[in-house]
Structure 1
């Protein structure tokens, strides 16, 4: 089983895109984002992981992708195949993307 790992100080960039979506369009948006991640994003150089989370109220979708560098993100976003999915997603919901660096991580004591 593979899993996403979040840690500080490893130089990775987290690209988090929060979509505000109408509840009746959330599933379609999730399917579009999932298809794009499966067909193209996860195969791009520098991609570490892609996670798609849907809010229980149906009003948001969070797209969390980990990358080795900002240059990898820029190169991916300029790929015409990726732009098709970006545009399809934007037609369904309002995106709000930002790049992040992990500041801290906390786990319960074992």
Structure 2
């Protein structure tokens, strides 16, 4: 089983998608993101993990997804099933996705 590990230089990529959402739709968006992860994303090559965060004020949802490579992210985003869930999410909120590499990690 894979789990989220944030480590500099591990070669993985992280897709961070910040959604601006109406507070009344935040939980529905979380439901759609969970469903998309369970039905599509976790079955795709290169998938490592998804973590979904909700803001306390209800106006944001952050989807942090880790993948083995940028090519895995691109292939997943081209998948019609993944596109269908992305469309459902975009109907509920304004997405702002970007792909990142870990630049540094600090611990106490």
Query: What's the TM-score, normalizing by structure 1?
Result: 0.94
Aligned residues: 108
Unmatched segments (≥5 aa) in structure 2: none
Q: Distance in 2 between matches of 1:3 and 1:88?
A: 26
Q: Please state how far the C-alpha of 1:15 moved relative to its aligned partner.
A: 0.3
Q: Distance in 2 between matches of 1:54 and 1:44?
A: 24
Q: Runs in 1 of length 4+ with deviation above 3 angstroms?
A: none
Unmatched segments (≥5 aa) in structure 1: none
Q: Please state how far the C-alpha of 1:3 moved relative to its aligned partner.
A: 3.8
RMSD: 1.2
Q: Please state how far the C-alpha of 1:24 moved relative to its aligned partner.
A: 0.1
Q: Distance in 1 between matches of 2:25 and 2:11?
A: 35
| Per-residue CA distance 1:79-108 (angstroms, 9 max, x = gap) | 111111000000000000001100111111
Residue 82 of structure 2 is matched in structure 1 by: 82
Residue 9 of structure 2 is matched in structure 1 by: 9
| Per-residue CA distance 1:11-60 (angstroms, 9 max, x = gap) | 11100000000000000000000000011101110011111111111000
Residue 20 of structure 2 is matched in structure 1 by: 20
Q: Please state how far the C-alpha of 1:4 moved relative to its aligned partner.
A: 1.3
